[in-house]
Amino acid sequence: MQKTAIFLADGFEEIEALTVVDLLRRAKIDITMVSIMESKSVYGSHEIAVEADTTFEDFNFSGVDMLILPGGQPGTRNLYACEPLKDKIKEFNAEGKMLAAICAAPTVYGKMGLLKGKKATCYPGCEVDLTGADFQTSPVVKDGNFITSRGMGTAIDFGLAIIEHFQGINAAKDMAERIVYKA
């Protein structure tokens, strides 16, 4: 079974995180919601409380195939400020493992210099922090071990792209049909 982790920090964009969690769980892709805060309780950018599955400190990264970052503010800034998370991101990138991010969160990878020479996208206005990337305006951009997406309005496309990565285009199309989504 594929294993993924999505990282939640206070100020995360609820739709971007929970849409991905919902779609991956429907597709039977293991996704763990990991709080980088001191407790499992995390507050979204619209003050919606979410109980993560675990904390960063307690999470076992063994067998994880992909790290996922939702956007939102100040959630994205909080993710970037988390040095242990950035260490894991560097480790995953060095191993060629998948890294995904939506909205402002691709800037975490950009500021770390990981998107140099890669096609990527992000929330409009955040492009300046995609250091060295070839900025695209598509809803979802896949390049090498990165999947990036634009924002809340592209959250379903983003989730389907992750499903496609693990299970193929037919599984993504089937999921879109099951949720009555027409791209």
Kindly list the catalytic residues.
103
Please give the span between the terminal C-alpha atoms of the chain, in angstroms, as a whole number: 27
CA–CA gap between residue 24 and residue 45 (Å, rounded): 22
Residue type (1 letter), 71:
G
CA–CA gap between residue 164 and residue 73 (Å, rounded): 28
Per-position b or e across 133-167, b if 16+ CB within 10 A of its CB: bebbeebbbbbebbbbbbbbebbbbbbbbbbbbbb
